[in-house]
Amino acid sequence: MKHILAVLALLTLTACSSGEQGAFGAAFQQIRGSLFNRGADETAQFTATRASLRAAGIERPVLVVRAPDVDISVGLLEYEQTGGVTIWRSLDGNTVSTASGLLRNTRGFGTDLHSLDTAPAESALASGNDAEYSRVFRAVDGEGVLHRARLYCRLTQEGREQVDVLGQGYDSVRFRETCRADGVPNPIFENLYWRGVHGQIWKSRQWAGPDLGYMTLERVTLQQ
C-alpha cells in the first residue's frame, strides 16, 4: 500500500471477546455492571469514584477509557499481563491492550484499532528526552487484508504538570508525540502522555484509529 490515507479509509475490523475466567470473573462479581459497562443502551457514562471501587472490593488496577468521538466512557479491569503487554477488559468483553501505558490495540469497541507498535515510543519516553523514531500502524480492510504503514514521530517534553487521575493528583512530566506519514501534510495524530516520577504513564490522550478517534486513558491504582 502506497498511501496511509488508503489504510485509514479501509479500517473496518470488528473483533470478538473472550469469556470471563478465574480471578478476573470473581472480581467482577463483586461490583455492579454499571460501574464498568456502557449499559444496555450503550450511553451510560463511567461515574465510579475511588471510594466506590474500593467499596466494591476492587483491588487490582483499573483503566478508565473515554472516547468522546463515539461517546464511550468505560472502566476496564487489569485482566492479563504477557510479554510486557497488559490487557484490560470490561465486563461485556471489550479489551484495550497497552505496553508501558502506550495503546497497542482495541477489541470490541466497533471499528477497532488493529495494532500500533509501541516499542520505539516506549524507549523514547523512558529516556525522558526529545526523540525521533518511527512506528508501524496496521489496519485490516473490508476484505480482511492486513495493511501496514510506517509513521514518523517526534516526542517533545513539555514540562512538569500535576495531573488529576480520578480525583488523585500526581506529579508528572507531559510529553507530546506527533506522528506523520510520507506525503501527508498534516499529522496523523498528536498524543499526550503524563509520565510520573517513576516512569508510570498515569494519564494519556492517544489516537485509537480514524473511527474511534482519540481515547483518554487514566490508570487508577487503588492500593496505597
pLDDT for 171 equals 97
The C-alpha atoms of residue 68 and residue 166 are separated, in whole angstroms, by: 17
pLDDT for 41 equals 52
The total number of structural domains that make up the chain: 1
Instruction: With beta carbons less than 8 A apart as the criterion, state whether 75 and 90 touch.
Output: yes
The C-alpha atoms of residue 173 and residue 168 are separated, in whole angstroms, by: 16
Range of the domain at 83: 4-220
pLDDT for 40 equals 47
pLDDT for 223 equals 72
CATH of the domain at 112: 2.40.360.10
pLDDT for 176 equals 98
pLDDT in tens, 116-159: 999 999 999 999 999 999 999 988 877 778 888 899 999 999 99
pTM of the model: 0.82
Which residues of the chain are modeled with pLDDT < 70? 1-44, 224
Q: How many CA atoms lie within 13 A of 175 on its CB side?
A: 30
Q: Grid coordinates representing 67? A: 472516547
